[in-house]
């Protein structure tokens, strides 16, 4: 229900109204919007966008100060924080299947990381997927894609996880829980300046 300190349409209203409208504040600015419930919160698109959001939020602290500062102009234009400018811009990029960038604007000079022979090992209702980094270069992250059919094309809505590249340490994913089936995976690394590398090659494992 809507909680108010004055009439519902006041600037102090917050909460939902009749399951149709939501009143709230964001960065001190009051707003009202339609209440939206995703038809399928576990759809490929939802999972892909949430996975990228998690990566961006967790790794803002790893972005060097100079790159963080590049988001200040965009933030000032929208009257938001540099962090929110960075997250919002990169989520829009990922929706268009463009790699996120740690700096604004994205550039084209970085060299992607090099991934060695990848592997997938099945366990109890799970598969552990490993992407060994042989040369870090300017790599920032590795995106993992999954399908139940072979020879699939990677897209933002079949991405299930993003791993941070830290030197030449392996990037490891645990895909769980899984129903008995054969699952196919592919990887695409991306650079600090927003370049998405080519597909690394498909691997698979079977959960019984």
Phi then psi dihedrals of residue 157, to 5 deg: -95, 10
Q: 161 in a domain, yes or no? A: yes
Q: 122 in a domain, yes or no? A: yes
Q: 16 in a domain, yes or no? A: yes
Q: Which domain holds residue 4?
A: 1-37
pTM higher than 0.75: yes
CB 38 within 8 Å of CB 45: no
Query: For the domain that residue 188 is a member of, what is the CATH number?
Result: 2.60.40.10
Task: Find the helix packing angle between 82-95 and 44-59, rounded to 10°.
Answer: 150
Q: What percent of the chain has pLDDT over 90?
A: 76
pLDDT digits (tens, 9 = 90+) for 169-203: 999 999 999 999 999 999 999 999 999 999 999 99
Under DSSP, the state recorded for 198 is: P
3-state secondary structure of 105: coil
Q: 58 in a domain, yes or no? A: no
* Cα–Cα distance list, 23 to 20, 28, 35, 78, 174 (Å): 10, 13, 9, 20, 38
Instruction: Specify the number of domains making up the chain.
Output: 2
Q: Comparing C-alpha atoms, which of 159, 146, 155 is closest to residue 202?
A: 146
- Say what the pLDDT of residue 1 is: 46
- Say what the pLDDT of residue 44 is: 74
Q: 51 in a domain, yes or no? A: no
Q: 82 in a domain, yes or no? A: no
Which residues, in sequence order, are bridge partners of residue 3?
Answer: 14
pLDDT digits (tens, 9 = 90+) for 82-140: 999 999 999 999 999 999 999 999 998 999 999 999 999 999 999 999 999 999 999 99
Arithmetic mean of pLDDT over the chain: 89
- Say what the pLDDT of residue 45 is: 81
CB 162 within 8 Å of CB 91: no
**Confidence check: pLDDT of 64 > 70:** yes
Q: 46 in a domain, yes or no? A: no
């Amino acid at each position: 229900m809507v909680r108010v300190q004055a009439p519902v349409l006041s600037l102090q209203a917050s909460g939902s109204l009749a399951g149709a409208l939501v009143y709230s504040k964001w960065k001190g600015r009051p707003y009202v919007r339609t209440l939206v419930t995703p038809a399928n919160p576990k759809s490929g698109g939802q999972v892909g966008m949430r996975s990228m959001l998690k990566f961006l939020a967790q790794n803002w602290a790893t972005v060097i100060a100079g790159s963080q500062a590049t988001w200040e102009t965009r933030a000032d234009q929208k009257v938001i924080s540099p962090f929110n400018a960075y997250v919002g811009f990169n989520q829009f990029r990922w929706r268009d299947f463009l790699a996120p960038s740690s700096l604004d604007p994205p550039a084209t000079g970085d060299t992607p990381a090099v991934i060695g022979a990848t592997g997938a090992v099945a366990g109890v209702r799970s598969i552990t997927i490993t992407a060994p980094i042989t040369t870090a270069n300017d790599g920032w992250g590795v995106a993992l894609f999954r399908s139940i059919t072979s020879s699939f094309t990677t897209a933002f809505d079949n991405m299930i996880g993003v791993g941070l590249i830290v030197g030449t340490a392996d990037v490891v994913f645990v895909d769980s829980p899984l129903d008995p089936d054969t699952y196919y995976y592919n990887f695409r690394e991306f650079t600090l300046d927003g370049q998405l590398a080519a597909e690394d090659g498909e691997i698979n494992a079977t959960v019984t």
